[in-house]
Structures are given as C-alpha cells and as structure tokens.
Structure 1
Amino acid sequence: MASSTVTSAQPERPPRPNLAFRRLRGKRSPAEFAAAVRRAAREIGERVSCDARYVGRVEAGEIRCPNYAYERVFLHMFPGRTLTDLGFAPRSSVRGRQARGAGESWEAGEPYKTHDTRDDRDTRDTRDNRNSRNSRNNRDTQDLYETHDNNEESDVLRRAFMTSGATVAAASLGPLGLALDAAAAGRPTRRAGTGEAGALEEAVRRIRLLDDRHGADGLYRRAAAPLRTAYALLDAGASRQATADRLYTGAGELAISVGWLAHDSGRFDDARSHYAEALATARMNGDAGLEAHAFCNMAFLARDAGRPREAVRAAQAAQRAARPLGSDRLMSLLSLREAGGWAGLADRVGCEQALVRAQTFYGRGPSDTDPEWMSFYGEAELEGLEAQCWSTLGDWPRAARHARRAADLQDPHFTRNLALYSAELADDLARGGHPDEAAAAGLRVLDLLGEVQSSRIHTMLAGTTRVLLPHRRSPTVSTFLDRHASA
C-alpha cells in the first residue's frame, strides 16, 4: 500500500459559499437536487454527471462558474435568472481570460473535445497566457472540469480517465502513466497535485455513471489501469495534506468501484481483493466513510458468494464505522446488507429486525451527511433489496410484491438497476407459480439487455428459464424462452 509524503505549502484562499444556489436547492438533499439537475439536462438534450458532491462544491463556492453544459441546464431549471442570480461569478473573472463561445465547452458525460484551435492559440494574447501561468497556484480551488487552464497536463489527465461511450481509458494514460513508467524504472515520480486528485475523483464518478447505464461486464478490465495509476500517485506523494487525503479517498473509492465491476460481472475473487485494498486504504488514512463503504460492499459480496455469516459480520462492522458519520440513509442501506446476511442464514427473525431498522432509518429522510456514492440509494433500491431478502427466505409472493414496486419506482436513468429489479420480479413470479407474468417480466429484461451487460442479471434470467421450462406450452412463456435462447 502506498504512502504519501506531504510538504508544507501556502494555504489556499478559502472560497466564498454560494448562498444563492443553496437557497434554490431548498429542502431537497444534495443527492435529490443532483437528480433534478440530471433530469433537467435530459429535457434539453444535455448530459451532465451531476451528483451530491458537485452540488456541495458549488454551494461551498469551490466552483465559481459552471461549464457551458451546466450553465444551459441551470438556466433551463431557473428561467429568467442569470448566472450571477444563481450566485456564480462572471465567466471572464474566473477564467482569467476572455470567455469562449458556447460551442467550445465539454462535459464529463461527453467525448473529450479540444477547446482551442490552432488559430486560437496563435492569436491569443501572450500576456494573458503569462498572467494565467503566474496566477495558477494562487487561484481559488475549483472543479478540474470547470476551469479550463492552459495546462497541457490537465488536458491529458482528462483524456487519461475519461472517454466517450461505454468505455474507460486504460492504455493511453499520457503523463499520468509516467507515474507507472517512472516507478518501474526506479526513477522518482513527480508529486501529485489537485489536478490529479480531481481527475481521480471524476474517474470514480464516470465509472459509476457508465455502470448505472451499461452494467459491469464491458467495463471491468478497462478500469484496472486507472486503479493502478491511482496507487502510483499515492506512492509519488502529494504536495499538501489536503491533496493527500483526497488521493487516499479517491484511490479507495476507485478500488471499490472496480471491485463492484468485478462483483457484478461474476469475478468474486477479484472483487474481494479490490474491496480489501479499499479497506486497507481507509484504515491507513483514518477514513471512516471509506471504511463503511468498503465493508458495505464486502457484505454484499459475501452474501452473493454464499457466505451469509460473513455478510452479517461485515454489515455490522460497516454500521460501527458509519455511526459517527450521522447519515441515516447510509445506516438504512447497511441494515439492508445485514438483513440479506440473516436471510441467507434462514434467520427470519434477524432478517425482519434488520429490515425494520432499515425502514426506520430511511424514513428519517436524506441529509447533507449522506455520502456521494449513495446517489443510487432511493426507495426503489430499498424495495429491491427487501425483495431479495424475501426471495432468499422463499416467500415468493412477498418478494414479487417488493420487486414490482422497485421496478415501478426506478428512475430510467439507472438502466442496470431497472433490469435487475425486473429480473428479480420475473424469478419471484416464476417460482411463485405465475409463469405468464414471469415471462412478461423476463421479456422486459431482454429488451434492456441491449444496453446492459451484467453477468449477475444473465445468471438470474438463466435460473428463471429453468423454472419456466415446464410451462413452455404457454405462448408468452414460449416467446420468452425462445428470445432468451437466441440472446
């Protein structure tokens, strides 16, 4: 595991909170507001990877001016207002040079686009370039993807971690990859700064978004290279303690994300290794939030791997780590992880008690302390995980009822989860003696599998087809079996 060497540096000027933007959020949690931003983006054909962390950084004043994609979304959400009305600074004052046209922006959800043409570079005032370089170390901390500095390295970092479509950059890491080359050659590696930390955090967000839409199978191996690079950055050290902490948290979260890709694609041994790596990173840095996240995923993996007692113990360890964090939604999810372990042990009483705790915590509502990675956890996920518990206990009608609710409540943005809940519903209906309804649900899953690649969902559907084989004479069942076989 890597260590980080930190040297003293001049403190950065603290950003000014964006109180106007905070007032616009109202009573919604950051995660709920982020979901509203993503919905608004889809309404106007934009793609933004907004999450609770982004909202928090805007409200804290760390993002003084959004990029053009976010600008269009915010102005669509709040018609009649300007960026200044939303609490942002004028674009020219943030950029340190003349603002670009709207067609030259890029966003994490889009393919990388080079901002400056050769003619632009040739004609730009060299004095502005010199001033920008001199002031770079003293400017306010801003989102890496909101400040388009003339920084060749930052551009390559973006290309290193981000790609378009459903893939993650893995082979061509540019200067970031030099960390690996230098380490292999025994040469010292340049210490990481806020740019690398920002790129690492954005890589985690991007992987999660791609997994939500497409599933894990096509992503896992391509995500391994950014993970190796993340730990090479830790070995290189950081120039500031705050940056080192971000690198440790980012590397741990990336390890969990890659572990989840392995988990969802059926590579349980690989997933276990990645989760253990994240847990070690958390404990080395004293990061209770990361520790709770690692134990949460370890509990889920243990349940799926047929080790229910380990699932219970890991979920309980996660709850111990999470209690000081003050997030009821996190405690709700961790109680569900424990319930899944009790169900695997056929302990109905233990399972029901954990489910009651999960519902109680969830009913207390969201808060600003909810972790960014929990943006997926809403009522649909609560219903889906409860359905899995009742399914494990063999209570098929109850499981089907909760699975149906999960599928009905799920935001279509989370395509993988929609397919998962529908597959759960199909299996519960099949085992509960409703073959035609099960086949209809299975057909809906097959419609989604053109966008989703998840070995877990394929395995669930395979089990459902075996249960439905004796009912092949039904036209609906026959159609489903034939489509499944051809797929």
Structure 2
Amino acid sequence: MDVIERRRRFGSYLATLRRSTGKSQRQLAAHLCLLSGIQSLTRNEVSRWERGVRAPGPWLAILSRALSVPLPDLQQAAAYARGEESARPPGMLLTLAELLPTGGPLERSAGHAGRRIGHPDVRLLAGRVHALRLADDVLSGGDLIAPAFRELRRAVDLYRTASFSDETGRGLLVQLGELGQIAGWVASDAGRLDDAEYAYRLGIDAARQAGQHALVGNLAGSLAYQWSNNGRERDAADMAQAAVNEAGPDAPPAARALFLDRVAWTQTRVGEAQAAMRALGEAHDALSSEGGAQAPPWAYWVSRAELEVMDARVFTELHRPLRAVPLLTDVLGRYDTTHARELALYRSWLAVALADANEPERAAAEAQRIIALSGELASDRTAARTRVVLERLQPYAAVPEVRDVLNAHGHLLLH
C-alpha cells in the first residue's frame, strides 16, 4: 500500500473518530482552538486532515484530548500514514488472522469416546443447516434463534466427542462453519449481538481448520456487516476488505460479489463514497463473470436483484435518492412477498430515500407498509429500521399523511 493510500486511510480514521464524538468539522476545529489557545485552525484544515491531504502533525496531542483517544494510538496511526512499515493504527489490521485470532471451543475431547460417524452423518447435518437458511427467508431471528443455537451446540459436541476419519472431520468442520454463519445471522437479527459474534467466531475457527477460505470470508463479512451497523464502522470496513482478501480472486463469483457488496456497505458507513461505489461496480462485475466455481450453498440467494438492493441502500446512505428510488421501486415490484422481513427492510430504505427526495406523502405510505409488514416479526433489525423511518419523517410532521403516521405509530420511537 503506497503512502497516499495510507494517508487517505489515516484521514478516514480521523473522520470516524470525529463523527463518534458527534462533532462537525467546524465544531472540532473550534474545540481544538479552545483547547490549544490557538485561534487560527479552521474547518478547512480539519477537512484536509480527513482527506489525507495534510497531516495533523503538532496537533496530535490536542486531537487525542478532543477525540478522547489515547495519544499513542494517534501517534501509531500517524506513523502508519507516513509509511512506517511496522506501524499499524487501531482498526487497520491487514489480515483476518490478525483481526480474529484462532482458538476457542473446537478442541477435541481426550479419547474421542463418542460414537463413530461418517459421511451420512455429515450429509444429514448439511441438510439441517440448509433448512435453517431457507427458514431464515420467511422467519425472523426471534423465531429461529433457539433451534439455530440448539443445532450449533449439538454440532460442536459431535465434533468434540465423536470419532471419525480425517475426511469426515473436514466435512464436519465445514458444516460447523456454515452453521456458525446462519446462527450468527439469526442471533444478530434477534438483537443478540454478543451471541452472534460468538457464533461467527466459532464458525471462522471451524472454516479455517477445514481450509475453506471462501467460507471464512462469508463469516468474517457477516461479522463486519454487524459491526458496521453497531458502532464499529472502521473495524468493519477493514474486516470486510480482509474477508475479500482471504477468499481470494478464485472465490466463486456469487461469493465474491457478496463480499464486495459488504465492502461497499462498510465503506459507506465510514463515509468513503468513492470506495463504496468502486466496490459496488466490482460486485456486479464479479457476478457477471463467466466460469469460476459453482456458488456454494450459503450463497444461493445472491442475485442481480439483491445487488441492486445494496446499490440502492448505498445511494440512500449517501443521500442520492434520485438513484436509489428507481432501483428499489423496480426490485420491490418483483420481490417474493413471502419474505416479509426483507420486504420491510428494503421498503425502509425506500421510505428514507423518498423523504430525502422531498416526497413525504410517498414516504409516509411506505412507512405504513413497513409497520404493517413488521408488526408480527420478531426482528430487531426491522424494529430499528422502523424507528429510523419515523425519525426521518419528523421534519415533515406538518404534512397530513406524515402527521397521521406519527400520531398512530410515534410510540414506536420510545422503544
């Protein structure tokens, strides 16, 4: 990585730290002036730091106070930006092995006194894992978390205690990895974030032992997605890129497209619009590529329509509603109506984009649809997105259609 890219990443890191304090660039500049007694610092200088055009240099000590970050962390980050090879700032580790060290519950019990298992047992487990994936299409996390974690516990116990050949052991590890991913996804949807991270990490350990790099990438990308939506945006962006690197260029096209979509989302969450747009394009190119390995079972749902949904979500997050609204309208017009949670989530992005486009009446109509769809769903994600939509509608409270929605459902903002 060249120095220009390192400086850009350091600037992005500073921008993420600033946003976490709730300050604008202008407010941070004013705060730095107050702390230092120097009145010459302006918003433009902060902007130059965050774009990687200029280094903060002598301001690092004051920045550490203003951003509530230990000075050694900022100094390490600045050394990285200067090109010092041994320096790695927080949140910018380069490989999954560094981001997620191995070690955990997949240690075999002494003696392996359990029953002997073979390929038929692995196939049965694979069928149950895929059944959970299909159930996740139509059920919410709160409905599936108990059976998903029950399967995960049983599979871990089977691996630790049963006796089997090396080949059967590898197959069992693959299913443990896949089960860790779906259990983590289910737990995240249920709002059980610690349980989700546990499942993802266990799955990563299993997939690594099985030598399944693409599966490791899927698990790590899933965890990155969770982090990106729960306060660890910079870590998430690094994790998503590390997942792409781990899977490598020979990953199945559908898998690579999925991983690049997650890169696009995490880059959006740290405000890197150009990197996000570039990743979206690469995701489409990957899915369109001819040849390559067949899509793994866990990527069965990756399609052109799903990539377009992520395109639209990125456009919405970047406040480009004229690009988001047509895409979402088209995809939702042909989306499977049995997938109620996804419909509610995708309509939430459409509602926000419509509000951004100054179409409050249409946004209010979408809000009504979202609430009707999500009312019976045991999904923390749909509940959170409903609150986002209602909050976005509040500036339009004088519009009758919006007022009706807020009067009827404003209590949801209290949860």
Q: Which interval holds the TM-score relative to the shorter structure?
A: 0.5 to 0.7
| Change over 3 Å in CA distance of 1:323–1:348 after alignment to 2 | same
User: Which residue in the other structure is 2:282 paired with?
Assistant: 357
Alpha-carbon shift at residue 332 of structure 1 (Å): 1.5
| Change over 3 Å in CA distance of 1:213–1:442 after alignment to 2 | same
User: Which residue in the other structure is 1:469 paired with?
Assistant: 394
User: Which residue in the other structure is 2:273 paired with?
Assistant: 348
Which structure dedicates a bigger proportion of its chain to helix?
Answer: 2
Question: Is the 8 Å Cα contact of residues 214 and 451 (structure 1) preserved in structure 2?
Answer: no
Alpha-carbon shift at residue 420 of structure 1 (Å): 1.4
Question: Is the 8 Å Cα contact of residues 289 and 322 (structure 1) preserved in structure 2?
Answer: yes
| Change over 3 Å in CA distance of 1:367–1:216 after alignment to 2 | farther
Is the counterpart of residue 396 in structure 1 residue 351 in structure 2?
no
Alpha-carbon shift at residue 253 of structure 1 (Å): 0.9
Alpha-carbon shift at residue 362 of structure 1 (Å): 2.2
Alpha-carbon shift at residue 329 of structure 1 (Å): 2.0
**Secondary structure of the corresponding residue to residue 433 of structure 1:** coil
**Secondary structure of the corresponding residue to residue 185 of structure 2:** helix
Q: Which of 161, 176, 180 is matched with 1:236 structurally?
A: 161
| 1:319-334 mapped onto 2 (5 Å cutoff) | 319-323=244-248, 325-334=250-259
| Change over 3 Å in CA distance of 1:233–1:405 after alignment to 2 | same
User: Which residue in the other structure is 1:310 paired with?
Assistant: 235
The aligned amino acid for 1:231 is V
Question: Is the 8 Å Cα contact of residues 237 and 244 (structure 1) preserved in structure 2?
Answer: no
User: Which residue in the other structure is 1:416 paired with?
Assistant: 341
Aligned equivalents of 1:385, 1:258: Cα separation in 2: 22
Q: Which of 445, 462, 475 is matched with 2:370 structurally?
A: 445
The aligned amino acid for 1:287 is Q
- Unaligned runs of at least 5 residues, structure 1: 1-182
Q: Which of 369, 375, 381 is matched with 1:456 structurally?
A: 381
> In terms of mean alpha carbon deviation, does 473-482 or 198-207 score higher?
473-482
User: Which residue in the other structure is 1:31 paired with?
Assistant: none
Aligned equivalents of 2:285, 2:250: Cα separation in 1: 17
Alpha-carbon shift at residue 276 of structure 1 (Å): 1.1
Aligned equivalents of 1:262, 1:405: Cα separation in 2: 30
Is the counterpart of residue 280 in structure 1 residue 205 in structure 2?
yes
Of all paired residues, the percent bearing the same amino acid is 29
Q: Which of 299, 302, 305 is matched with 1:377 structurally?
A: 302
- Unaligned runs of at least 5 residues, structure 2: 1-107
**Secondary structure of the corresponding residue to residue 297 of structure 1:** helix
Question: Is the 8 Å Cα contact of residues 176 and 207 (structure 2) preserved in structure 1?
Answer: no
Is the counterpart of residue 246 in structure 1 residue 171 in structure 2?
yes
Alpha-carbon shift at residue 316 of structure 1 (Å): 1.9
| Change over 3 Å in CA distance of 1:393–1:324 after alignment to 2 | closer
Is the counterpart of residue 190 in structure 1 residue 190 in structure 2?
no
| Change over 3 Å in CA distance of 1:450–1:463 after alignment to 2 | closer
Alpha-carbon shift at residue 347 of structure 1 (Å): 1.4
| Change over 3 Å in CA distance of 1:306–1:392 after alignment to 2 | farther
1:291-344 superposed Cα distances (whole Å, 9 cap, x missing partner): 121122122112112322222222222222323544222211211111112212
| Change over 3 Å in CA distance of 1:354–1:187 after alignment to 2 | closer
**Secondary structure of the corresponding residue to residue 219 of structure 1:** helix
1:429-477 superposed Cα distances (whole Å, 9 cap, x missing partner): 2243221111111222233225533211111111211222343454433
Aligned equivalents of 1:360, 1:249: Cα separation in 2: 28
Q: Normalising by structure 1, what TM-score?
A: 0.57
Q: Which of 194, 198, 202 is matched with 1:269 structurally?
A: 194
**Secondary structure of the corresponding residue to residue 248 of structure 2:** helix
The aligned amino acid for 1:309 is R
Question: Is the 8 Å Cα contact of residues 214 and 251 (structure 2) preserved in structure 1?
Answer: no
Question: Is the 8 Å Cα contact of residues 114 and 163 (structure 2) preserved in structure 1?
Answer: no
| Change over 3 Å in CA distance of 1:342–1:254 after alignment to 2 | same
Q: How many residues align?
A: 304
Is the counterpart of residue 258 in structure 1 residue 186 in structure 2?
no
| Change over 3 Å in CA distance of 1:440–1:365 after alignment to 2 | farther
| Change over 3 Å in CA distance of 1:267–1:401 after alignment to 2 | farther
Q: Normalising by structure 2, what TM-score?
A: 0.67
| Change over 3 Å in CA distance of 1:377–1:313 after alignment to 2 | same
**Secondary structure of the corresponding residue to residue 300 of structure 2:** helix
**Secondary structure of the corresponding residue to residue 266 of structure 1:** coil
| Change over 3 Å in CA distance of 1:482–1:207 after alignment to 2 | farther
Aligned equivalents of 2:274, 2:161: Cα separation in 1: 50
